[in-house]
Structure 1
Amino acid sequence: MPVPSAVGEGLKAAFRTHPAGVAIITAATPEGPVGLTASSVASVAVDPAAIVFSVTRATGSAGGLLSAPTFVVHLIDHDHSELAQSFAVSGSERFTPEQQWSTLPTGEPYLPAARFALRCRALQTVPVGTSSVVIAEVLEVFAGPQGRPLVYVDRKFHSLPHQP
């Protein structure tokens, strides 16, 4: 893996203290369900409804996600911080009965307890260094219970006060 430049190290330091929302992105693949935690999800447009996110590498869960025809972006809350940690670490327990996953009629793993779940399909994938930026069309939106929002800052998950 290449060593980041001074500018790259500066960018990492800048974004380490920039809070970001937390999502778990899941997909169904021929090898089984895959998922990962992402803090790079952002809204792009409402007409057509579109979002953007990035994943590192095109192998493992990220590779499965990039090759899946559709995926679900779960915007999660404080109650799911352990789940976010599990999906952020390779080899961790995923999709266990205790985690309360379900499956959508279209086949994707679905967490009904997520604040929102966005079923999407990739419109465009752009490779950038060791990452891929995904621009995705939102096909369906599922609203769940509204808890305390979860953010990622300084390599830790933090909860925000409940929003009415």
Structure 2
Amino acid sequence: MSSGRPDAAAFREVMALFPTGVVAVTAQGDDGPTGLTIGSFFSVSIHPCLIGFCVNRSSRTWQRMRKSVRLCVNVLAEDQHRVSRILAHQVDPEGFALVSWPANGAGIPAVAGALAWIACDVVDLHDAGTHSVVIAAVGDLAIVRSGGPLVHCQRRYHSITPIVAPTS
């Protein structure tokens, strides 16, 4: 056990061992639909329905999205790793053109083929290191299709296979 603070590389290595679901947060930007990949999405409360996610404050995409009244969290399917990469890396400015963005039932751009979408309004932001913890109130949601979720672990995408029967 180390007695000092871990360096960033060691911290990243340990955290890579913990699997996380992958979502895409989307919005209508000034220049059209936009989105980014998030690996730190979570349920906050059922009464009222609140969700949360963490986003790097220096993200240019996030800076554009913060102006939006409503956001959409898209639960990506196990076959959507390409969409996740496009929205995560944004190395190709034309990459967004490769993502299909139909409006969902709430009128917000959504990622075509996602398992589900959650329309929400940001109600609180908390600064935490280089990131902001975003808390949002759920306004509407829908399951779009069945399938397994996209999971990220050890710097790779995975699908999940249940190993035990669900509890009742």
Shorter-chain TM band:
0.7 to 0.9
Question: Aligned ranges for residues 89-104 of structure 1 at < 5 Å?
Answer: 89-92=89-92, 93-96=95-98, 99-104=99-104
Does residue 151 of structure 1 match 2:151? Answer: yes
Aligned equivalents of 2:118 and 2:43: distance in 1?
A: 11
Cα RMSD for the two superposed structures: 2.2
Count of matched residue pairs: 158
Question: Aligned ranges for residues 43-62 of structure 1 at < 5 Å?
Answer: 43-62=43-62
CA separation of 1:56 and 1:112: change in aligned 2, threshold 3 A:
same
Q: Deviations over 1:13-32 (max 9, x none)?
A: 22111000000110112232
How far apart are 1:148 and its partner, in Å? 1.9
Aligned partner of residue 109 in structure 1, secondary structure: coil
Bigger radius of gyration, 1 or 2? 2
The TM-score with structure 1 as length reference comes to: 0.85
Q: In proportion to residue count, which structure has more strand?
A: 1
The TM-score with structure 2 as length reference comes to: 0.84
2:111 aligned residue: 111
How far apart are 1:57 and its partner, in Å? 2.3
- Give 5+ residue unaligned stretches, structure 2: none
* Paired letter, 2:37: T
How far apart are 1:65 and its partner, in Å? 2.0
1:88 aligned residue: 88
Contact 1:28 1:107 (8 Å CA) reproduced: no
- Give 5+ residue unaligned stretches, structure 1: none
How far apart are 1:142 and its partner, in Å? 1.4
CA separation of 1:46 and 1:95: change in aligned 2, threshold 3 A:
farther
Aligned equivalents of 1:47 and 1:113: distance in 2?
A: 29
Aligned equivalents of 2:57 and 2:82: distance in 1?
A: 23
